[in-house]
Structure 1
Amino acid sequence: MSKHSNVSPELVQEGERIMRICNACRYCEGFCAVFPAMERRLTFEESDLNYLANLCHNCTECYYACQYAPPQEFELNFPKTLAEIRLETYRKYAWPGMFAELFHKNGLVTGVVTAASMIVVLAVILGSGGPASFLAAHSDVKGAFYAVMSHEAMVVTFGIVAVLIATAFAIGFVRFWKDTEGKAAPAVTPGAFVQALSDTLLLRYLDGAEDGCAYPDETPSNVRRRFHHATFYGFALCFAATAVGTVFHYVLGWEGPPPIPTVASLLGRPGAPQLELLRSLPVILGSLGGIGLLIGPAGLLWLKTRRNSLLVDHRQNGMDAGFLVLLFLASLTGFMLTALRETTFSGPVMVAHLGIVMGLFLTMPYGKFVHGIYRFGALLRNAVEKSTMPTLGSE
C-alpha cells in the first residue's frame, strides 16, 4: 500500500479479503466487468482495489447471488465495501488536496456553496446593470435576460469557474490513471477507447446479469438504468445547448437564442421556419435536456428511498442527494427563466438559476459527479486489459 494513500489500511485489508474469496468462487463472473477484471489478478494491492471499486456500477446483483453474504460467517458485502473504497478514492485523487475532506461533508458544502454562488451572481448583476435593470421587465428585442446580466459578465464569471473545474477533473483523472496502471502499462489503443466510450454511453454494466440491476431491491429491473440515461443525456443536451449557443454568438454573430417559434408565427413566411428553428436550437436542446434533468434525478432520488440499507455507504447520502437535487433545481429554474424571460420576475429567477448552476459546477470536483470521471477511466483501463491480459473467467 502506498505511503501516500488516503484509503485506510482496515478498508484495504477488507477489500483484499473479499477479493480473495470472490476470486476463488467466481460464481458472479458474468454479472459485470468487475469480476473478469478481478480474475486477471492473483494478488490485490490498493491500486487494484481502487480500480475495481470505480469499475463497479453498484448494481448489487452479486450481493443477492452470493452464498457468503451475511449471515454466513464470511459476511461478504461486495457492493458496500467497493462503495466505501470508491469514496476514499475520490478523496485520494482530489485536487487541490486540501478540498478532499469536502467529500465527507458534501451535502452541507453543496448548500453553503450554492447560497454563496447566488450572492455572487446577484453582486455581478447589480454591479453590471444596477437595481433598476434587475427589477425591470425586458423584452426579447431588448435582449431579455441578457439585459439583466450582460453576456460578457456571464462569460467571464462562468468561464473562470469552467477553467477551475476542468483543471480539477483533469488532474484527478491523471492521478487515477497513474495510480491504477500497474507495473506494465499497455498503451491505450483507438479500439479500447471506442469500447470504453460505448460502455459509458450505453451504461452497459447497469444491465446486471441480463435483466437489469438488483436495485432498489433484489428484483432485477432496468428502471435505474433508464433514470441514469435520462440524467446523463439530459446533462449532455444542456451542455450541447451551451456549446451551440456559444458558436452561434461568436461565429455567426447571433445575439442570444430567441424563443422557440410557434406554428402560427411561421405560417406564411417562406424561408423563416428553418432559420428561426435553427436559431432556437440552443433552446430546443436545453429544453430536451431539462426534461431529462427533471425526470432522471427525481427518479434516482425516489429509488434511493427504497434501496436496501445494508448495501449503502451512508456517508455518501448527502453527496448523492445534494448532486441530484441541484441537477433537478437547475433544470426547474431554467424552465422558469425561459417562461418568465420578459417579466419583472426574470432578474430574481436568474439569480436563483445561475446561482444553482454555479453551485453545481463548483461542487462537481468534490461531489458525486466525479464518479463519472473515474468510472470512464476504469472502463478505459478495463478495455485495455481485455486485449492485453489473460483471464480465466468469462467476459
Structure 2
Amino acid sequence: MQQLNSLINEARQLTRPHEEEAKRVMQVCNACRYCEGFCAVFPAMTRRLSFSDADIHYLANLCHNCGACLHACQYAPPHEFAITVPQTLAKVRLETWQRYAWPARFGALYRHAGVTSALALTLSLSLFLLLAVALRGGLWHPPLAGDFYQIFPHNLLAILFGGVFGFGLLALIVGVIRFWRGVSGGTPRPPAALEAARHALTLTYLDGGHGEGCNDEDDRYTLRRRRFHHFTFYGFMLCFAATVVATGYHYLLGQPAPYPLLSLPVILGTLGGIGLIIGPAGLLWLNLRRAPLHGDEQQKPLDRAFCLLLLLTSITGLALLAGRDGPLMGALLAVHLGVVMALFLTLPYGKFAHGFYRCAALLKDAIEKRRGK
C-alpha cells in the first residue's frame, strides 16, 4: 500500500510540469495560428484567450496525434521555442487518465503498464487454466464437437469474464464522467452527439487536416495509421457483436454453443478476428517506426502492450475455431481464455481508455462549436 501511495504522489508531482508546458505551447500556437485549419485541436484552441488546466486536459484528449502540426511548425526543434504539440499533449493525455481514473488509487497503473507485465499476466493466467484443464481430464481428450462447456461450465465463464469486463467498463465510464465534469463538458444535444459520433466512427482527424493522412517516421503523409485503426476498432466491435448475438441465441432462443461455421456468431467473430490481426499488427509496426517527437516515448510500452494483447486474442481465438473439433480443444480454449482475461483486466488502465476520453472530447468540441467563442 505504501508503494502504491508513493506512485500516486509521484504521478501527481509530474502532472504540473506537463500541464504548464502544454499551456506555453498553446499560447505560442494561439499567437501563430498557422495550423488553424488542421485537426479539431486548433479551432478549439482559438476559442480561448487563456488556458486553464481543464482546457489543457480537454485539448490533449482531442488531439489524435497525427503529427501533421509538428512538420508544419516553424517553431519546432531545433528552434529555441521547441514547440512539439503531439508530444506535449500526449504527456498531458496520460496524466488526465491518471487524474480521473476510478478507483483513484488505480490511476498509477497507467504509468507502469507495458509489454512485460502484459505478457507475464497472460502467461500466468494461461498456465493456470491449462493446469485446470489437465486436472479435469487431461490436455489431450476425445473430440468434443466444439462444446467448450464440457471444459469450463457456461455459468462459470459468464460470471468470471462478465464480471471482469463489467468492472472495466464501469471504471472507464466513471472516469470519463469525472473527466467530463472536470472540463465542463456541458449538456449534449442530438446534433452535437451525432457530429461527435461521425468523427469518432470515421476517425476524421487522422487525415492530417488535409485528407492525406498522418506522419509516421518522417514528413511523408500516409493513411496507414487511419486504416489500421479502422481494422482494429471495427474488428473489436464485430467480436463484441458476435458475443452479444451468441448471448441472445443462448438465453432468448435456447440455443447454446457450439454454433455452425456459417452461423451469425461465428461469421461475425471470424471477420472481427481477421480485423484484429490486421489492425493491431499494423499499429504495432507503425509504433516501432514512429519518430520520437510524434508522441511520448514513455507511453510506447503502453501502446504496444494493448496492440499485442488484441493481436494474441485474435490469433488464439482463430486457432481455437480451427481446432475446436480436435483433441487439443481444451488446451486451445485455456490459452485463449487466459489471453482474453489478461485483456479484460488491463482494459480500464491501459491504452483502451483513449477511445473513451477522445469520444468525450469530440462531444465537447461539437457542443463548443455551436456556442461560438
Please report the TM-score for the alignment, with normalisation by the length of structure 2. Answer: 0.92
Report the alpha carbon displacement of residue 258 of structure 1 after superposing the two structures with TM: 2.1
CA distance in 1, matches of 2:274, 2:341: 20
Choose the corresponding residue for 2:270, options 270, 283, 287.
287
Of the three residues 344, 351, 373, the one matched with 2:356 is 373
Q: For residue 191 of structure 1, what is the aligned residue in structure 2? A: 191
Aligned partner letter, 2:218: D
1:166 to 2:169 alignment: yes
Q: Tell me whether 1:115 sits opposite 2:120 in the alignment.
A: no
Conservation of the 8 A alpha-carbon contact between 2:228 and 2:282: yes
2:59 to 32, 52, 65: 52
Given that 2:273 and 2:315 are in contact with CA atoms closer than 8 Å, whether structure 1 keeps it comes out as yes
Deviation at 1:119, TM superposition (A): 4.8
- Quote the Cα distance in structure 1 between the aligned partners of 2:169 and 2:131: 25
Residue 172 of structure 1 aligns with an amino acid whose one-letter code is G
Q: Give 1:7 deviation, angstroms.
A: 5.6
Aligned counterparts of 1:94 and 1:289: Cα–Cα separation in 2: 29
Runs of 4+ in 1 over 6 A off after TM superposition: none
1:131 — aligned with what? 136
Which whole-Å deviations, capped at 9, do the CAs of 1:298-340 have from their partners, x for residues lacking one? 1111111221123331111111111101100100000110111
Contact 2:130/2:335 (CA < 8 Å) preserved in 1? no
CA distance in 2, matches of 1:41, 1:282: 48
- Structural mapping, 1:146-165, within 5 Å: 146-165=149-168
Aligned length: 361
Match for residue 78 of structure 1?
85
* CA offset digits 1:3-29 (Å, max 9, x no partner): x96762221211111011100111101
Q: Spell out, residue by residue over 1:341-383, the C-alpha distance to the aligned partner (whole angstroms, 9 max, x if none).
A: 1222111111110110110011011110000010000001111
Superposed, 1:14-25 pairs within 5 Å as 14-25=21-32
CA deviations on 1:140-182 (whole Å, 9 max, x unpaired) are 2xx522221122221111111122112101111111101111x
Match of 2:252 in 1: 251
Percent identical: 48
Cα RMSD, aligned residues only: 1.8
Counterpart secondary structure, 1:101: helix
Unaligned runs of 5+ in 2: 1-10
C-alpha distance 216-282 of structure 1, shift in aligned 2 (>3 A): farther
Q: Structure 1: which 5+ residue stretches go unaligned? A: 261-276, 391-395
State the match for 1:266 in structure 2: none
Normalising by structure 1, report the TM-score: 0.87
d(CA) in 2 for partners of 1:117 and 1:327? 16
**Equivalent pair of 1:238/1:289 in contact (CA under 8 Å):** yes
- C-alpha distance in 2 between matches for 1:24 and 1:329: 46
Relative distance call for 1:198 and 1:381 in structure 2 (3 A) is: same
Separation of aligned partners in 2, 1:6 and 1:172: 20
Q: State the 1:56 CA deviation.
A: 0.3
Question: Which of 288, 292, 296 in structure 2 is aligned with 1:305?
Answer: 288
Q: Which residue of 1 aligns with 2:8?
A: none
Task: Please list, as runs of the form range in 1=range in 2, the aligned pairs for 1:223-372 lying within 5 A after superposition.
Answer: 223-260=224-261, 277=262, 280-372=263-355
Q: In the alignment, is the contact (CA less than 8 A) between 1:6 and 1:88 conserved in 2?
A: no
Q: Deviations over 1:256-284 (max 9, x none)?
A: 14231xxxxxxxxxxxxxxxx4xx10100
